[in-house]
Amino acid sequence: KTVYLKDYRAPDYLIDETHLTFELFEDHTLVHAQLVMRRNPQAGSGLPPLVLDGQQLELLSLAVDDVPLGEGDYQQDDSHLTLQPTRSEFVIDSSVRIHPESNTALEGLYKSGGMFCTQCEAEGFRKITFYLDRPDVMSKFTTTVSAAQRDYPVLLSNGNPIASGHEEDGRHWATWQDPFRKPAYLFALVAGDLWCIEDSFRTMSGRDVALRIYVEPENIGKLQHGMDSLKKSMKWDEEVYGREYDLDIFMIVAVNDFNMGAMENKGLNIFNSSCVLAHPETATDAAHQRVEAVVAHEYFHNWSGNRVTCRDWFQLSLKEGFTVFRDAEFSADMNSRTVKRIEDVAFLRTQQFAEDAGPMAHPVRPDAYMEISNFYTLTIYEKGAEVLRMIHTLLGAEAFRQGSDLYFDRHDGQAVTCDDFIQAMEDASGVDLGQFKRWYTQSGTPRLVVEEAYDPVAHTYSLTFRQSCPPTPGQEHKQPFVIPVAMGLLDAHGHELPLRLAGEAVADGTSRVLAVTEAEQHFTFVDVAHKPLPSLLRGFSAPVKLSFPYSRDQLMFLMQHDSDGFNRWEAGQQLSVQVLQELVDQQQRDEALSLDPRLIAALRSVLADESLDAAMVAEMLSLPAEAYLAELSEVADVDAIHAAREFARAQICAELFDLLWARYQACREQSRSTPYAADAAQIARRSLQNIALSYLALAGSDEVVDVCEEQFEHADNMTERLAAMAVLVNSPFESEKATALAKFADYFKDDALVMDQWFSVQAGSPLPGGLERVEALMHHPAFTLKNPNKVRALIGAFANQNHVNFHRLDGAGYRFLADQVIALNALNPQIASRLLTPLTRWRKFDSARQALMRGELERILASGELSSDVFEVVSKSLV
């Protein structure tokens, strides 16, 4: 069943107060709900029937205004309870029985290990009690939780604790009250044997907020980084957005079984343990940075999401796109801005562009869905963040801040739409964003083709931009977008030219933003004495596929001279893509492979330049991922892409061995002599060290195996240890590999998050026999389909990162994935649906693989009763 944005209607009834009581037991839970309701004055007259949402609830009793209802007084189907109010204000009391102990979907109230926890976004609250489970119904919640004191000493919910007590039978209870009205998707409850670390934060108006992070006891030593990240986030949101925290207490709870990264429940954020636990010995630098980003993301939701929430789920990017933009800027301010941008753009271009080109393509504000859980996508989050970044670019930082102030001020306590956000931005800045709004309604990745023309007599330089956007499901033709193109012009010495457009009195700096708004548009610069080289789309100022006919020599020039760090990296990527595509062509024509020596020359000068930021050197040395090369291809030749990339890597190793060796040794020596810190300088050094090691290993020499083993054995941190293990796993040194894997597993067998990394490294290895290795690992005692992190670490890593093995020509990789999707469909539909994404990309491949992939999608479709999650993705993929 499809839901449409155009069918949106305001709710007939409102819930002013919600009083909940949970009685938690080992084999069931009782939920009593008292809802203080009234007719919505904004939704017509009369008293229409009241339709409450409710799924998998065993109704025990129901009363309106204290009068018990009998079976004839209401109707019930598998997802609703309908009754007829007789007054415009009334109180409903219901009691239901639910079964968190057998809830494997991890939605609603469920048990993770020994603790109870909740995940209500988007529509999980209806699996807890009968309710108006939609974000535009906002209510004040009071929650009482009772459980056995011994097993569940800690009882938490949203807001502030207001009362607690003990009962005689060994049970105890606690009552929490949240003074802020909120939709049900922000409700949370936690009960367990948890320990916490505590800290406090003084807000800009001088209030002290208690901060607590809760975990199961064995993880108590992994919380400091999360706490530091939280305090930085609170300060940053005050400084950059003027947003202050509003309750007396802010809590985070880490749980092991969680479908997504984390959840911004009011005052009680619940996190996948992978996104909050971090310790140098068990978490990599990347994991530390992810924790910092996710803690910030969920905290920032307190304003962009909670204080101002979404009217309906079509507006999801209103909170997610905005909050991802906010957390990206936070991370840029805490770390290297350029490196953060490079990482985000690489991710967007491989993953979101592929989504935009596939069967599930949808606009940032979709107009229809079957299952909302399927729309927590890269388009809503990542492209949504790019849309916010473009508004920031077009308005400038100051006007953007005025717009966000107006938005928060105008809509505090409301459930609003993307249009309301744009309106606030327009009102504060005076900029008309009417055409810009097409970014919200049109799907697909725009193409931007650029041509240049230089007039040596008139000294003018013109750029012509032509934009287009390929058809996407339901959208044959697109209107032109507003595309902000940040750019500059370089002269032959690499100096930046002043940029004066025809008609302007004076030049406006050396880097400026052109707004491309037409299908075809020209910009002419005057006073240009010699033909310049353009630097286009600086900082990736718009999520488009830009093409300009750069020669390889020009790209090498930009790599050296562009004042924009992002574009220096981008020039290197474009050079690598050209060179690798040439190798793919040679491979397909059965010719001997020969690598353009300019790539080696470019990397040599990057590697030799000790004045460059080590993190940038590491980024420049990383060749474009196989997934990115596949995304750029019309038909992705998986094997040729892999062979081409491996050939280039081997050449780089052979040609640059001495330089790589010297830089590796210098970095490793510093690692040995300095205690670990997750600071920018050390993270940069380790990333250079580890990428150098991965190249060196291709030499296959004994001295390299020795340094790998040395790093694996003696590193004091997971970043170095895991990288060394990964190099061994991908090497032909069978006995060293086996030893490292066994030692690692033995040492870390009780640490679930570390074992996830152990699974991932093996699942991603492109060496032959990958599927058989993964199938064997499915039987490892640490693996279970019931834990989403394990599924992602083993099956997800195999299908998404191990192209040669997943796409093997006999279709066994596809069959394996389909089998897992079918098994998970019954256990955890959200995870099943996400896992099958690689199969939906069948159009990218040759006809033999297409047929095999479609065959597996058809087999899933015919496999029995499908969840709405899996059904929507499979059926849309087969159209």
Count of residues near Zn ion by CB under 5 A: 2
Q: Residue 186 or residue 799: which is nearer to Zn ion going by CB?
A: 186
d(CA 594, CA 864) in angstroms, rounded, equals: 51
In what order do the strands lie in the sheet containing 208-215?
A: 195-202, 208-215, 249-255, 268-272, 262-263
Smallest separation, CB 293 to ligand ARG (Å): 11
- Residue 269, classed as helix, strand or coil, is strand
Residue type (1 letter), 66: D
CB 18 within 8 A of CB 44: no
Q: Three-state SS string across 821-838, please?
A: HHHHHHHCHHHHHHHCHH
Q: Residue 237 or residue 264: which is nearer to ligand ARG going by CB?
A: 264
Q: Does residue 168 carry a catalytic annotation?
A: no
Find the binding residues for Zn ion in span 312-331 (CB under 5 A): 320, 323
The Cα-based distances of 758 to 84, 195, 538 in angstroms read: 57, 27, 38
Smallest separation, CB 373 to ligand ARG (Å): 5
Smallest separation, CB 127 to ligand ARG (Å): 12
User: What's the token pair of residue 312?
Assistant: 């309906």
d(CA 165, CA 412) in angstroms, rounded, equals: 35
- Residue 19, classed as helix, strand or coil, is strand
> Which position among 123, 298, 371, 856 bears the catalytic label?
298
Smallest separation, CB 356 to ligand ARG (Å): 20
- H helix and E strand count, the chain: 30, 31
Q: Residue 161 or residue 261: which is nearer to Zn ion going by CB?
A: 261
d(CA 681, CA 807) in angstroms, rounded, equals: 39
Which phi and psi (to 5°) does residue 492 adopt? -65, -20
* Cβ-proximal residues to 328 (8 Å cutoff; 6+ apart), any chain: 293, 340, 344, 385, 389
Smallest separation, CB 385 to Zn ion (Å): 10
Q: Residue 320 or residue 856: which is nearer to Zn ion going by CB?
A: 320
**Paired strand residues for 143:** 20, 176
d(CA 13, CA 64) in angstroms, rounded, equals: 14
**Paired strand residues for 209:** 201
Q: Residue 121 or residue 386: which is nearer to ligand ARG going by CB?
A: 121
Nearest to 95 by CA among 121, 123, 119, 69: 69
**Residues at the interface with ligand ARG (CB under 6 A):** 119, 121-122, 259-260, 262-264, 297-298, 320, 373, 376, 830
Q: Residue 110 or residue 845: which is nearer to ligand ARG going by CB?
A: 110
Smallest separation, CB 571 to ligand ARG (Å): 34
CB 795 within 8 A of CB 226: no
Q: Residue 305 or residue 770: which is nearer to Zn ion going by CB?
A: 305
CB 348 within 8 A of CB 378: yes
Smallest separation, CB 126 to ligand ARG (Å): 13
d(CA 770, CA 670) in angstroms, rounded, equals: 35
- Residue 73, classed as helix, strand or coil, is helix
CB 296 within 8 A of CB 227: no
Smallest separation, CB 639 to ligand ARG (Å): 36
Nearest to 371 by CA among 123, 660, 563, 715: 123
Partner interacting with residue 833 (select from Zn ion, ligand ARG, none; CB below 5-8 Å by kind): none
CB 179 within 8 A of CB 159: yes
Q: Residue 301 or residue 362: which is nearer to Zn ion going by CB?
A: 301
User: What's the token pair of residue 757?
Assistant: 């990394």
Q: Which chain residues interact with Zn ion by CB under 5 A?
A: 320, 323
Catalytic machinery residues: 298
